[in-house]
Amino acid sequence: MLAIIVISILLNLYSYPTYIGVPIPIYKIKIDIDFSEGFVSVEGPPYKLVIRQGDTGSINITLRRTYTNKTLWILSRLYGIGPDFNKSISGLYPGQSLPSGVTYAINPSLVCLSTDDKYTATLVIHVSLYTTPRSYKSSLDSILIYPIEKESVSVTTLSILLVVLPKE
């Protein structure tokens, strides 16, 4: 009972919009599989990006503010996850880096959601010729930052299976 009271107090401190006491996400993120290039194939959700050794692929990420009129700042990053996805805890599992030879860029990596319009960032993934062909689990984090109100920081994660195929 005490835990429920503490959670209720914390939720009220952060003033998230709620529905029957349950916090409602104040932004949405998705990978736009209709706008990609350089990949052999793209599926999702769940998201699966297939690419060949030595290639570079790009895909759009869309963000949209919901249920709030606050200006939101969203920072995005991509990282590899541990060998057992169900047991990995973000920030606590060693080796949360991408596989050797895989690099990425997100442009822009910091997005300001000041209206309810859809905002777009581009995720670019490069796989070197020397990356071992196999499937790699990775996560795309979008980190919600309140730079002025200093209310809270929260993270939304999308799982991505990156499949590296041998060069043809």
- Which residue did the predictor score with more confidence, 85 or 23? 23
> Which CATH number is correct for 25-165, 1.10.1040.10, 3.40.50.720, 1.10.10.10, 2.60.40.10?
2.60.40.10
Mean pLDDT to the nearest integer, 66-87? 73
pTM of the model: 0.77
Residue 66: pLDDT over 50: yes
CB 48 within 8 A of CB 42: yes
Mean pLDDT to the nearest integer, 94-98? 63
Task: Give pLDDT, residue 56.
Answer: 97
Residue 3: pLDDT over 50: no
CB 121 within 8 A of CB 108: yes
Q: What are the helix (H) ranges across 15-124? A: none
- Which residue did the predictor score with more confidence, 49 or 26? 49
Closest CA to 21 of 33, 11, 36: 11
- Cα distance between residue 88 and residue 82, in whole Å: 6
CB 60 within 8 A of CB 36: yes
Residue 51: pLDDT over 50: yes
Residue 20: pLDDT over 80: no
